Amino acid sequence: MIISVDPMGPAELDRLREQPGAGLGTLRTDRGNLPLDVLDVRASISGLIVRTELTTEFVNTHDTALEATYVFPLPDRAAVTGMTMTAADRTVVAQLRERAEAREAYDQAIAAGQRASIAEEERPDVFTMRAGNIMPGERVTVRLRLVGPLPYEDGAATFRFPLVVAPRYVPGTPLPDSYAGDGQLPDTDAVPDASRISPPVLLPGFPNPLRLSIGVDIDPAGLQLGDVRSSLHTVLDDEGTLRIAPGERADRDFVLRLAYAPGGESAVAVPDEEGAEGTYQLVVLPPEAATAPRPKDVVLLLDRSGSMGGWKMVAARRAAARVVDTLTGADRFTVLTFDHHVERPAGLDHGLCEASDRNRFRAVEHLARADARGGTELLTPLISGLTMLAGSSGRDRVLVLITDGQVGNEDQILQEIRPLIGTTRVHTVGIDRAVNAGFLGRLAAIGAGRAELVESEDRLDEAMEHIHRRIGAPVVTGLGVTGDGITLLDDSRSPARLPGLYPGVPLVITGRYRGEPAGRLTVTGRTRDDQDFRTGVAVQRRSEPAVTSLWARARVRDLEDAYAAGDHHREQEIVSTSLRFGVLCRFTAYVAVDQRVVNEGGQGKRVTQPVEYPSGWEPPVASPPTHGFGVAGVSPFVAADAGPPLSAPPVPPAGPAPFAPPPSPAPAGPGYRPLRAQGAVHGAPPQRAGAQGGGGGHGSGGHGGGAQGGGVLGVPAGPAPRGFLTPAAARARRTGVSPTADAEMSIAELRDLVAVEAGRLREAATLPVADRRDLLDDLASRLDVLLASVADSAADMLRTLVGLLRGSAPLDEKWATAARVLSEFGSPGTGSAPSSGTGGTQGSDSADGGGSASETGAGSSTSSKKSKPFWKR
């Protein structure tokens, strides 16, 4: 490629002024070179609710009309309830529409030469904003309004506002068609919207590109406020408003911790403006624990991928060692460290080991040697850990994941592990200054566990103390909520499955009601010593729209998780809930259009705003750009865990990235094989997406795409896990043509899984009442997921069983019926039921049925829909 460079003339040179700090790698002028000029966050905290206004100001420094794109994070539990666009002293209020309709309105406005802006959700904590037809020298301001809860536990509430979208590892085979967004990574079969969550990254040392300001007002609202601490920014008190010091960069989360004295239980009801319904919010406090927790089986997963370099790896090793040190001789455990392959400590390579002094020392010694390298192949260790815990009996099952969570295939991971969690409690520890909090929170919620976010080493000890307290069993399980004098709509409750009461953590339950807001709300359950738990709270009528918005956001999140798990019939309910209550979701978008025509023809320049390199990350590995010139100051480097060069346009690589760092030598494979990765099943050849010729070859996570036979390094190759698509299956998803005839889980595969469930039920027959009740609840949820992909009428007996388990029949009746139905359904054609020690692995291995069947199922579930995937609408 030959580039002709013409020198500037004297008149052009005279217009340029010298810029202090400008140098190699920048193209800074006196008018600036990036569209985003101001990022302002104004938060108002009232008790345990925070209202936030995010202001972004875009300036056009070019000589032609500009369309600016900005990929940015927001708190994952916050509800976006409004948006405005201001330009040329005129403010336009945005409308919330279905995503395809909003995009069409935006595109038509831009083509007609009108100013317009649009805000879309890509992940629970990642959003995209576009503002178009910004005229030369013009400033356009876009404001978002948010409302969110303040998490409260152990005497403190936390306000966290993320400021940067960190690079994420994106697995899978690049798709050949056009990309869904303007990001730097190609869309893949595992992450089909990767180009929408991978903004360009500024070079380390690039001058501060924007004016960042954060202000927080605090009203305790009747609670007793103690110390207020900021862990990552310098905060000044400006006449009662807390502000960050001038000149701070948007390269890490803003975190405030507010010491509140414990509040009491409460129940509030907020009527709708119209109709006879409303929203309730119930806060329940846990009782004091009366008995010691039972022995535990613990699997510890430590992420050692490239993005964990620097202080994060040090903190992660300390956190993992703290978990090991808190185990007792009555517990069993194992440790898995992973990047693009999985390792175990020497001497602890056979399942769960006794937590003796010697074994704990071996584990800590192994953790001390862990360093950051490679890609974040998170699915394999998760499946491995859950498989090992599946054989535990009479013990609490606990999985602790320590990671930054920087992966792009969150939906795929959640879909894969959801049927495998069962009664395992999953705790997540997110270590980063720009952590993927949305994914880690969802993972902990599905596992009824705890999510701790550690943004600095100073915060580590406090967070690990909380995790240690949560590793034990909750003090109350089997929770239920009823109304006396108020009619609750149970199908609207969030969380849909109540997780239990833990020491020091109030449980917040929201939902919808019908009729007059009066009477009492009563919560019942069983304590760990099998005693009745009951508490009632009088309902108080309030006029607080934030309660309704918070419920709507939580409800939409629950529905989106069900959608990610394969229940695509939930889409219309997600859209209708979002539009009715005015909260943004992944299927809707806010769009604002100014009717004035300011740019005849709609032609202009498109610029994607680069984001900061996250604070605390190791410097990226140098690499020349593949071609072309990006925005000045955009990194021409390959991040250690983030895929292809960040300044390069998204061109699908033909194989492993030529500039990626070489893989570390793979150690000998572990003495086990993860679920759904044990070789051919039902005659299917051992094959994964990587075996198709370089799959997963971008970034450092793709090492060994073909050399390892398509498998993850250190793990024997096997059929693709459900959710991973080969190129054939990816084509099926786009074209609707299935590569095989059978796109559903076969009845034989379902019988294998049910045989395992029947074995678990037999083993648990002597457990206490509370444990057996929890087991049946988990069983019903697992069957719901499995039956969603089975159309055979032979499974109707299981559907009837699920209805019984969801009902109010006595526990003994449910247990006896479940044992009989599972045994009858699981016995035909499967031989003897798997033994207790290996049942989980055998049953699930057979259930996958081979790579092609699972891939076809993943493709057909989408191709049967007439509309495009929501990120391409």
Q: CATH number of the domain that 501 lies in?
A: 2.60.40
CA–CA gap between residue 625 and residue 638 (Å, rounded)? 9
Among 288, 285, 289, 314, CA closest to 302: 314
Report yes or no: 478 and 774 within 8 Å, Cβ to Cβ.
yes
∠548-551-555 over CA atoms, to 5°? 140
Task: Specify the pLDDT at position 696.
Answer: 36
- Is residue 295 predicted with pLDDT exceeding 90? no
What per-residue confidence (pLDDT) applies to 873?
57
Report the C-alpha gap between 7 and 810 in whole angstroms.
86
Q: How far apart are CA 572 and CA 751, in angstroms?
A: 32
What local confidence, expressed as pLDDT, does residue 407 receive?
Answer: 85
Q: What is the dihedral of CA 862, 864, 865, 871, to 10 degrees?
A: 20
80 and 58 co-located in one domain: yes
Residue 164 lies in a domain: yes
pLDDT (tens digit per residue) in 186-221: 998 878 889 999 999 888 778 888 999 999 999 988
Residues 191 and 314 reside in one and the same domain? no
Query: Going by DSSP bridges, is the β-strand pair 126-134/66-73 parallel, antiparallel, or unpaired?
Result: antiparallel
Q: Are residues 134 and 74 in the same domain?
A: yes
Together in a domain, 443 and 517:
no
Asked whether the predicted pLDDT for residue 700 surpasses 70, the reply is no
Q: Contact at 8 Å (CB) between 307 and 404?
A: yes
- Are the C-beta atoms of residues 239 and 267 closer than 8 Å to each other? no
Give domain status of residue 726, yes or no: no
Distance, in Å, from the CA atom of 631 to the CA atom of 646, rounded to the nearest integer, reads 11
| Least confident piece of the model among 278-282, 438-442, 531-535, 780-784 | 780-784
Let me know whether 536 and 591 are in one domain.
no
**Mean pLDDT score of the chain:** 75
Residue of 117 and 419 predicted with greater confidence: 117
Q: With 90 as the cut, is the pLDDT of residue 643 above it?
A: no
pLDDT higher than 80, residue 664: no
Residue 214, C-beta contacts closer than 8 angstroms, at least 6 positions apart:
40, 41, 42, 43, 161, 233, 243, 244, 248, 254
Instruction: Report the alpha-carbon angle 209-214-220, nearest 5.
Output: 165
The mean-pLDDT minimum among 122-131, 611-620, 718-727, 763-772 falls in 718-727
Structure tokens at 206: 């690039």
> What values do phi and psi take at 837, rounded to 5?
-75, -30
Cα–Cα distance for residue pair 337/580, rounded to 1 Å = 45
The predicted structure's pLDDT at residue 5: 34
**464 and 535 belong to one structural domain:** no
Q: What pLDDT is stored for residue 206 in this prediction?
A: 84
User: How far is Cα 145 from Cα 84, in angstroms, rounded to an integer?
Assistant: 9
Say yes or no: 238 and 387 in one domain: no
Whether 657 is in a domain gets the answer no
Q: 249 or 3: which carries more pLDDT confidence?
A: 249
Identify the domain containing residue 542 by its residue range: 264-289+475-581
CA 629 → CA 360, 612, 634, distances in Å?
A: 52, 19, 9
When pLDDT is cut at 50, 70 and 90, the band that residue 761 belongs to is confident
3-class secondary-structure state, position 314 = helix
d(CA 421, CA 735): 33
Which residues are CB-contacts of 594 (< 8 A; sequence separation ≥ 6)? 85, 87, 90, 92, 109, 114, 115, 116
Amino acid of residue 610: P
Residue 809 clears pLDDT 70, i.e. is over it: yes
730: number of Cβ within 10 Å? 26
Q: Which two tokens stand for residue 784?
A: 């719901």
| 603 has pLDDT over 80 | yes
Q: What would the two tokens of residue 710 be?
A: 């398509």
DSSP secondary structure of 65-119? -EEEEEEEE--TT-EEEEEEEEETTEEEE-EEEEHHHHHHHHHHHHHTTEEEEEE
- Among 433-447, 557-571, 784-798, name the most confident range: 557-571
DSSP H helices, 153-256, are: none
- The CATH number for 459's domain is 3.40.50.410
**778 & 834 share domain:** yes
Pair (138, 199) in one structural domain:
yes
Alpha-carbon radius of gyration of the chain: 27
Range of weakest confidence among 109-123, 628-642, 773-787: 628-642
- Cβ-based neighbours of 805, under 8 Å, separated by 6 or more: 776, 777, 779, 780, 783, 814, 818
Strand, coil or helix: what is 593? strand
Handedness of CA 386, 388, 392, 395 (dihedral sign): negative
Give the residue, 279 or 644, on which the prediction is more confident.
279
pLDDT on residue 553? 95
Does 560 reside within a domain? yes
> Around 3, how many Cα atoms within 13 Å sit in the side-chain half-sphere?
5
Based on the fold, state whether residues 117 and 254 are members of the same structural domain. Answer: yes
Q: What is the mean pLDDT of residues 32-39?
A: 82
The DSSP code for 240 is T
CB 859 within 8 A of CB 735: no
Give the number of domains in the chain. Answer: 4
Q: How far apart are CA 768 and CA 639, in angstroms?
A: 51
Q: Do 69 and 182 touch, CB atoms closer than 8 A?
A: yes
Say what the pLDDT of residue 479 is: 87
Cα-Cα-Cα-Cα torsion 552, 782, 323, 311, nearest 10 degrees, comes to -50
Specify the pLDDT at position 760.
Answer: 66
Report pLDDT for 673.
26
At 478, the amino acid letter reads G
Kind and range of the H or E run holding 451: strand 451-454
Whether residue 639 is predicted with pLDDT greater than 60 in this model: the reply is no
Any idea which of 60-74, 286-300, 456-470 has the lowest mean pLDDT? 456-470
Only one residue has tokens 């409800």, namely 555
pLDDT band per the 50, 70, 90 thresholds, residue 8:
very low
Who wins on pLDDT, 858 or 34? 34
Assign residue 831 a region: left if phi > 0, alpha if psi is -120 to 50, beta otherwise?
A: left
Q: What is the largest CA-CA distance in the chain?
A: 92
Distance CA 857, CA 611 (A): 37
Q: Is residue 667 part of a domain?
A: no
| Buried/exposed 744-782: b ≥16 CB within 10 Å, e otherwise | bbebebbbbbbbbbbbbbebbeeeeebbbbbbbbbbbbb
pLDDT band at 233, cuts 50/70/90?
confident
Determine contact, residues 84/142, Cβ cutoff 8 Å: yes
Give the amino acid at 103.
R
Tell me, yes or no, whether 868 lies in a domain.
no
Structure token digits, residue 191: 């992450």
Q: What are phi and psi of 475, to 5 degrees?
A: -80, -20
Indicate if 563 and 546 belong to the same structural domain: yes
Same domain, 70 and 197: yes
Share of the chain above pLDDT 90, in %: 30
Hey, how many other C-beta atoms are within 10 angstroms of the C-beta on 136?
A: 12
**Containing H/E element for 145?**
strand 139-149
pLDDT at 272 > cutoff 80: yes
Which of 581, 600, 628 is a domain's end point?
Answer: 581
Region 522-548: mean pLDDT is 88
Q: Is residue 132 very low, low, confident or very high in pLDDT (cuts 50, 70, 90)?
A: very high
Token pair in block for residue 274: 């119209």
Q: What is the mean pLDDT of residues 129-153?
A: 94
Q: How far is CA 810 from CA 64, 497, 602, 798, in A?
A: 72, 19, 67, 19
Of 52-56, 635-639, 799-803, which gets the smallest average pLDDT? 635-639
Share of the chain above pLDDT 70, in %: 72
Average pLDDT over residues 690-699: 35
Tokens 């460290």 identify what position? 337
The model's pTM is 0.64
Q: Locate tokens 């009746």: which residue?
A: 813
Of the spans 651-660, 760-769, 827-836, which averages the highest pLDDT? 760-769
Give mean pLDDT, residues 460-469.
69
Q: Would the pLDDT of 707 be above 60?
A: no
Distance (Å, whole) CA 410 – CA 561: 10
Asked if the structure places residue 531 within a domain, the reply is: yes
d(CA 727, CA 52) in angstroms, rounded, equals 44
Distance, in Å, from the CA atom of 650 to the CA atom of 181, rounded to the nearest integer, reads 9
- Would 626 be classed as within a structural domain? no
